[in-house]
Amino acid sequence: MDFQPRGIIPAMVTPVTPDGKIHVGALRKLTNYLIDGGVHGLFPVSTQGEFYALTFEEKKKVMEVVIEETGGRVPVYAGTGAVTTREAISLTKMAEAIGVNAVSVITPYFIKPSEGELLEHYTSIAKSTRLPVLLYNNPGRTGINLSPEFVARASKVENIVGIKDSSGDLTLTAEYIRRTDEKFSVLAGRDTLIYGTLCYGGKGAIAATGNVAPKLIVEIYEAFQAGDLKRALDAQFRLAPLRLAFDLGTFPVVIKEALNLIGIEAGVGIPPVGGISPKAKEELKEILKNMGLLK
């Protein structure tokens, strides 16, 4: 398969209205804000997008809106992971029918399948679709950490084209790169490690902070590709406070609050997640001001 994920792909939030409905207008505004920021793809129904809190129909709606608003300007990836193989296949088929360009499949959560069961899980999903499939490693959220050996085996499945690694373990990320070939895309999932991942040979990042600061994250990638390592590293350091601010609230609400502050109505987290405290909001404002994102 020729499709190779690369560049900066924001893991989009799912804006919601005060009564908990998908905020279609804000989602369209966010889509254009990100594309205008120079991103290389969009990733709705992500972990940052609260995929676990959305119904099947809500996921469908989010994908449809993003695809329509994007109008082919950049590739659209979509999260289709689920606890069971059959649900993941249903979501993947739905995403393909809507017209996404690729899917990302997080490991099952709550349960802990063996590597043999995981390989069968991913192989079955890949065989159910013509779309490129990305593995998604996020052990902090799922309790499963994909080994380099597993990723090397899974990379041999025809349309498994890459992995998003949110482990925060740069040694593990590097092993994924070392153990797979050049056609397989390893993407940073921890926003503080984009520069490091690129140095090891990674192809880019799927980044939550890209919702708020797309131009800055794109600068990390494009400066690196241009050989300006100093500028790339400087951009990475300028981004760090926003990623470290995630501790100001319950994941994934901080990025929503930051979007609200810069003028994109993202709402709050889907209950039981809510907003952040007034004190935390003031701290977040200062971070955004220091980054030049808020006057």
Q: Could you give the residue numbers annotated as active site?
A: 136, 164
Cα dihedral sign, 107-108-113-119: negative
Sheet with 204-207, edge to edge strand ranges: 7-10, 204-207, 185-188, 160-165, 133-137, 102-106, 77-79
Which DSSP helix (H) or strand (E) runs through 153?
A: helix 148-154
Give me the torsion for CA of 55, 158, 66, 27, rounded to 10°. Answer: 60
The pairing of strands 204-207 and 7-10 is parallel
Taking alpha carbons only, the member of 138, 145, 182, 183 closest to residue 164 is 138
Taking alpha carbons only, the member of 38, 48, 39, 37 closest to residue 13 is 48
Q: What are phi and psi of 165, to 5 degrees?
A: -110, 110
Question: How far is the C-alpha of 275 from the C-alpha of 103, rounded, in Å?
Answer: 29
